[in-house]
Amino acid sequence: MADVVVAGAGLAGSVVAHLLARRKLDVVLLDAGVRISAAFGQHLSHDPRLAFGTVMRERIVQALCLPVQAVDVPRATPTPLSFSTCAVGGGAATLWTGISERSDPHDEAAQRFHARCIEPYYAEAEALLGVEPSPDDVVGRVAPRLRDAAPELRDAQFVPLRIAASREPNSPRRWITGPADLLAPSDPQCGGVTLLERHVATRIEHHAGRATALACVDVVRGAEIRLAAGAIIVAADPIRSPALLFASGLRGDVAFPLGMYLSDHPMAFAKIQATSAAGSFLSKALGPPRESIPAGLRLLRPGCEHHGLVLLEPGASDTAAATLRLYWYTTGYPTETNHLDFAALPADEYGLPTPLACLPTPLAPQETLGDMSTDLAAAAKALGEPLRGWQPRMMPVGSARHTFGTLRSAFAGSGPGVTDECGRVNGFSNLYVAGPARIPYANSSYPALAAAALAIQTGNCILSAHAAHHTTRQGPAWKP
């Protein structure tokens, strides 16, 4: 019997399992996904043939990100939806690009939540994930020349990328951090994590506000298992975590917005050949990439909600034929109308609901999206020529794969939440959520670092509850 069972060994689940095991709790971590590498949850970029930007890697990422069914509600400008979940053991965190910016809540109430629940844990999250500025930190050298070469970029600010990257032992080589690095069997202090691969969590058993056990299926043996624990953490991504709560009899409403506030960062994209003076200068300065991590920079426009990410594709980076990818992101505004419907479609073979993504409300005002598109087009023009089929364009909602908000944490001034400021599910004493599902505010940043910080915060809350229980010996036994 474990102290804590964690459902989902992706980014958030691995971070919280690592933290609790290092503090000597018995942790069972289970994951439904199929393993794609020798070590569980190893990042795709560990294989040099699959370094960032390779066509093969792109194809594998596409194949492993399973589409979530979606309804495109009629609007003045219909917007297709493109949410996905990840089928690989270790989750999206084995595929992610590693960009780890701190998040940027918009309003004052959210700032207060951020300052209390996320900011104090950033440094620990960054140390754990190995976040450093990209080694291709060319910003200081290129910014003035870029501005001179392209009038469209005159007011732009350039910022180095901050990448989560582990260092290979005895070598300067770095790779993007994934669950395998967080759960390294070579880490003696992390030996308390028992990893159950190919185990699908199907239901949380609970009684009188206490989670008592996690029911799961061992997919390989076809056996049903019941894992009792002192605390249960749901870390199965922002789409499947609410699905698991729903399957366990928890239902959403305005006071308990399970699956509501579904959000992502609206994104526009272009691929260009860096044919202009500014583009070829930038691509020469960025390349050739020396490692499996992306080379690039961020572009900010003062007074604008959006920001840009310019990444160099590996390949002919020292010639005029270099290809640049331009990802432009803006603030996603979560609203209670945008939600996951768990009752509309038949359940899967394990009895888990099949989520349907419904977004009747645009994630950002049309004007903001228009500004972002115009700016992307201007930057693309300044840097080169769009490749055929990759002209600057708005991508379907969900394409950023930055889903957040579906099990939001309540805070003063925010309206209701499913979880409290510790990530504990409302009405429960020992059931928690980890992951970007908890992020409760409008923001335009990458979700993973904030999710890791929140997972550390939840881990600390569980450690305090565990310590208090063993000091006072009050209430039911920690391990049922």
Q: Which residues bind ligand FAD (CB under 6 A)?
A: 7-13, 30-33, 61, 65, 86, 89-93, 95-99, 200-201, 235-237, 240, 244, 401-402, 435-436, 446-448, 451
Classify burial at 312, counting beta carbons within 10 Å of its beta carbon; exposed 0-12, middle 13-18, buried 19 or more: buried
Q: Which is nearer to ligand FAD, 65 or 465 (CB)?
A: 65
Smallest separation (angstroms) from ligand FAD to the CB of 335: 20
Smallest separation (angstroms) from ligand FAD to the CB of 222: 16
Smallest separation (angstroms) from ligand FAD to the CB of 162: 10
Smallest separation (angstroms) from ligand FAD to the CB of 356: 17
Q: Which is nearer to ligand FAD, 199 or 284 (CB)?
A: 199
For residues 327 and 267, the answer to whether their CB atoms sit within 8 Å is yes
Q: Which is nearer to ligand FAD, 146 or 437 (CB)?
A: 437
Q: Which is nearer to ligand FAD, 52 or 478 (CB)?
A: 52
Q: Which is nearer to ligand FAD, 64 or 382 (CB)?
A: 64
Distance of alpha carbon 274 from alpha carbon 316, whole angstroms:
11
Give the CA distances from residue 208 to residues 12, 205, 421, 449, 458, in Å, rounded to whole numbers and listed in that order. 27, 11, 21, 34, 22
Q: Which is nearer to ligand FAD, 37 or 273 (CB)?
A: 37
Question: Can you point out the beta strands (E) in 151-249?
Answer: 157-160, 162-167, 174-176, 193-196, 199-207, 210-218, 223-234
Smallest separation (angstroms) from ligand FAD to the CB of 173: 19
CB atoms within 10 A of CB 184: 13
Q: Which is nearer to ligand FAD, 294 or 384 (CB)?
A: 294
Q: Radius of gyration over alpha carbons of the chain, in Å?
A: 22
Smallest separation (angstroms) from ligand FAD to the CB of 261: 15
Q: Which is nearer to ligand FAD, 11 or 149 (CB)?
A: 11
Distance of alpha carbon 123 from alpha carbon 254, whole angstroms:
35
As a dihedral over the C-alpha atoms of residue 246, residue 249, residue 254, residue 260, rounded to 10 degrees, the angle is 0
Smallest separation (angstroms) from ligand FAD to the CB of 417: 17
Task: Please report how many Cα atoms fall inside a 13 Å half-sphere around the Cα of residue 38, on the Cβ side.
Answer: 4
For residues 131 and 163, the answer to whether their CB atoms sit within 8 Å is yes
Q: Which residue has the tokens 């640049």?
A: 324
| Residue in the shown chain whose Cβ atom is closest to ligand FAD | 10
Smallest separation (angstroms) from ligand FAD to the CB of 137: 17
Q: Is the peptide bond before 78 cis (omega within 30 degrees of 0)?
A: no
- Residue 316 tokens read as 């002919």
Largest CA distance in the chain: 71
As a dihedral over the C-alpha atoms of residue 196, residue 202, residue 208, residue 210, rounded to 10 degrees, the angle is 20
Distance of alpha carbon 336 from alpha carbon 257, whole angstroms:
7
Q: Which is nearer to ligand FAD, 284 or 307 (CB)?
A: 307
Q: Which is nearer to ligand FAD, 11 or 262 (CB)?
A: 11
Smallest separation (angstroms) from ligand FAD to the CB of 87: 7
105: Cβ–Cβ under 8 A, 6 or more apart, which residues? 111, 113, 114, 441, 442, 443
Smallest separation (angstroms) from ligand FAD to the CB of 467: 26
